[in-house]
Structure 1
Amino acid sequence: MGQAWDKFKENTTVHRLVALCLIILVLYAARSMMNTILLTFIFTYLIVHLIRFTQKKIPRLPAQVIVVLAYLLVIALIYFAITIYVPILIKQIIKMSHSLIKFYQSDDMNWVSRYLSHYISNSEITTQAKHGVTILVHALTNFGTLTIAFFMSLIMSFFYTIELNSMTEFSHTFLQSRHLSWLFEDVAYFGSKFVNTFGVVLEAQFFIALCNTAMTIICLIIMRMPQIIALGLMVFILSLIPVAGVIISLIPLSLVAYSVGGLRYVIYIFIVIMIIHAIEAYILNPKFMASKTELPIFYTFVVLLVGEHFLGTWGLIVGVPIFTFLLDILGVKSVKKKKPQILKIEDKK
């Protein structure tokens, strides 16, 4: 028995596979906390990245000062968003809804109105009302859950980053375990790989989303489209979804464009989205994703479909980084290391 255990610990491939399976099982058991886990990781990664970047410019500035200033800025932004931006956003969404309702009630959409009237008149109104209330309650519950997860993630990431050095030292003590050092080394190895892969891919997609949003907003302002803030926020969120986000955003943009300027504006929107998609595909992706990950479009869509099936909305955002991480640990396609790691475990020979 002892010899088999020693052989198991000496076989790096086998015990890393066991460690990976254990990590997957733990994450599956904690799937109800996935919002908090992913948001905490994202916030922590961004703040650690900010600390590294700031200390390169100002070496003597303590990390705790950077963390406190960063979170004070986040709190200020949240306050201004709630008091100023959210009311404007709600008003613009209401105006957009009225525009769409007016569009569907126009002469060009009479056939849709007749079909809906026929459908409603022949359906069980009580059942439809109950179904609508259920959807509304479910949406409000999800929003409340996500809000709690957001603030919990901010608090947890704050305590992690404010004690970054002590957290790193304490985490290293697990590697000195007498019986399970191999397990903690494997967890640290996968953690280092995941931070590197997830970080560079998510960072690249974030910058691409910012560029897409800026270009789209400029075009919408030139076209004198209404509700620029609401449309810009929608475009930014959808742009975080690789490849498919640009295509998905075309649908609501086309509806709003038709309600404003008819078919001519829809054609303009198609041209604008095609140009932005071309810039993303041939300029932004090669610039931000070079030497990191360049998946074919077919694989990207498959990963998005599978990610959405298992992780829901989060799967559309983190599906590609997770798939790239798997390619990295399988040795199929590695990701160029760019950021310093909190806990670094080198690959065993």
Structure 2
Amino acid sequence: MRQAWDKFKENTTVHRLVALCLIILVLYVARSMMNTILLTFIFTYLIVHLIRFTQKKIPSLPAQVIVVLAYLLVIALIYFAITIYVPILIKQIIKMSHSLIKFYQSDDMNWVSRYLSHYISNSEITTQAKHGVTILVHALTNFGTLTIAFFMSLIMSFFYTIELNSMTEFSHTFLQSRHLSWLFEDVAYFGNKFVNTFGVVLEAQFFIALCNTAMTMICLIIMRMPQIIALGLMVFILSLIPVAGVIISLIPLSLVAYSVGGLRYVIYIFIVIMIIHAIEAYILNPKFMASKTELPIFYTFVVLLVGEHFLGTWGLIVGVPIFTFLLDILGVKSVKKKKPQILKIEDKK
């Protein structure tokens, strides 16, 4: 028995596979906390990178000062967003809803109104009303859950980054375990891989989303479209979905454009989205991804479909980073190492 255990520990491939299965099992059991886990990782990743970047410019500045200033800035932004921009956003969403209702009530859309009237008149109104209330309650519950997860993630990432050096030193003590050092080494190995690949892809997609949003909003301003802030926020959120996000944003943009300028504006929106999609595909993706995390469009859509099936909305955002992480650990397509790593572990052959 002891000999079999020693052989198991010496076989790096086997015990890393076991460690990976254990990590997946733990994440599956904790799937109800996935919002908090992913948001905590994203906030921590961004703050740690901010610490590294700032200390390169100002080496004498303590990490704790950077963390406190960063979170004070985040709190200030949240306050201004709630008190100033959220009311504006709500007003613009209401106006946009009224524009869409006006669009559907126009003479050009009479056939839609007649179809809907026929459908409603032949359905059970009570059942439809109950279904609508259920959807509304579900949406409000999800919003409340996500809000709690957001603030819990901020708190957890704050305590992690404020004690970053202590966290790293304490985590190293697990590697000295007499019985399970192999397991903690494997966890650290996968953790470093995950931070590397996940961080690279997510960071690149975030910058791509910012560029897409900026270009789209400039075009919308030139076209004198209404509710620029609401449309810009929608474009930014959808742009976090690789490839498909830009295409999905075409539908609501086209509806608003038709309500403003008719078919001519819809054609303009199609041209704008095609140009922005071309810029993303041939300029932004090669630049930000550095030609090391690009996937064919077919693979991207398959990953998005599978990710949405297993992880819901989060799967659309983190599906590609997770798939890239799996490609990296399988040795199919590696990503260049980026600092900081969780723990420095030598890669055993």
Q: Is the 8 A contact 2:193 2:329 kept in 1?
A: yes
Using the size of structure 1 for normalisation, the TM-score is 0.99
Checking the alignment, whether the CA contact within 8 Å between 1:291 and 1:335 is kept in structure 2 is no
CA deviation map 1:253-303 (0-9, x unaligned): 000000000000000000000000000011101100114301000000000
SS at match of 2:160: helix
Q: What residue is the counterpart of 1:254 in the other structure?
A: 254
Does the 8 Å contact 1:43/1:153 carry over to 2? yes
Identity within the alignment, %: 99
Runs of 4+ in structure 1 off by over 3 angstroms are none
- Checking the alignment, whether the CA contact within 8 Å between 2:89 and 2:230 is kept in structure 1 is yes
Give the distance between the partners of 1:275 and 1:115, measured in 2 at CA: 35
Distance 1:277 1:345 in 2: 40
Q: Partners in 2 of 1:30 and 1:325 — Cα distance?
A: 20
Give the CA deviation at 1:148: 0.1
Give the conservation status (yes or no) of the 8 Å contact 2:188–2:342: no
SS of aligned partner of 1:230: helix
Q: CA deviation at 1:164?
A: 0.3
CA contact under 8 A between 1:200 and 1:292: conserved in structure 2? Answer: no
For residues 191 and 252 of structure 1, what CA distance do their matches in structure 2 show? 39
- 1:62 paired to 2:44: no
Cα distance in 2, alignment partners of residues 294 and 35 from structure 1: 26
Is the contact between residue 291 and residue 336 of structure 1 (CA under 8 Å) also seen in structure 2?
Answer: no
- Is this contact kept in 1: 2:160–2:167, CA < 8 A? yes
Q: Is the contact between residue 193 and residue 325 of structure 1 (CA under 8 Å) also seen in structure 2?
A: yes
Cα offset, 1:337, TM superposition: 1.4
Contact 2:217 2:228 in 1 (8 A): yes
Deviation per CA, 1:53-102: give whole Å up to 9, x if none: 00000001000000000000000000000000000000000000000000
TM-superposition CA deviations, 1:237-263 (whole Å, max 9, x none): 000000000000000000000000000
Structure 2 unaligned segments of length 5 or more: list them. none
Contact 2:44 2:160 (C-alpha < 8 Å) held by counterparts: yes
CA distance in 1, matches of 2:82, 2:122: 43
Query: Is residue 98 of structure 1 aligned with residue 98 of structure 2?
Result: yes
Structure 1 gap segments, 5+ residues each: none
Give RMSD over aligned pairs: 0.6
Cα offset for 1:108? 0.2
Deviations 1:181-220 (A, max 9, x none): 0000000000000000000110000000000000000000
Contact 1:303 1:323 in 2 (8 A): yes
1:342, CA displacement in angstroms?
Answer: 3.0
Question: 2:343 aligns to what SS in structure 1?
Answer: coil
Q: Could you tell which deviates more after superposition, 290-299 or 61-70?
A: 290-299
- Kept in 2, the 8 Å contact 1:238–1:248? The answer is yes
Deviation at 1:334, TM superposition (A): 0.1
- Conserved 8 A contact 2:51-2:63: yes
Cα pair 1:19 1:183 within 8 Å, conserved: yes
Supply the distance in 2 between the matched residues of 1:218 and 1:344 (Cα, whole angstroms).
Answer: 44
Measured in 2, the distance between the counterparts of 1:230 and 1:14 equals: 51
Residue by residue over 1:149-193, the C-alpha shift from the partner in whole angstroms, topping out at 9 and shown as x without a partner, is: 000000000000000000000000000000000000000000000
Structure 2 Cα separation of the partners of residues 132 and 199 of structure 1: 39
Q: How many Å separate the matches in 1 of 2:291 and 2:159?
A: 33
Question: Given that residues 191 and 342 in structure 2 are in contact (C-alpha distance below 8 angstroms), is that contact kept between their aligned partners in structure 1?
Answer: no
The CA distance in 1 between the partners of 2:135 and 2:342, in whole Å, is: 42
* Matches of 2:233 and 2:339, distance apart in 1: 29
Distance 2:109 2:344 in 1: 61
Superimposed CA distance per residue, residues 132-161 of structure 1 (whole angstroms, 9 cap, x where no aligned partner): 000000000000000000000000000000
**Cα offset for 1:116?**
0.6
TM-score, with length taken from structure 2: 0.99
Q: Distance in 2 between matches of 1:137 and 1:276?
A: 36
Aligned residues: 349
For residue 165 of structure 2, what is the aligned residue in structure 1? 165
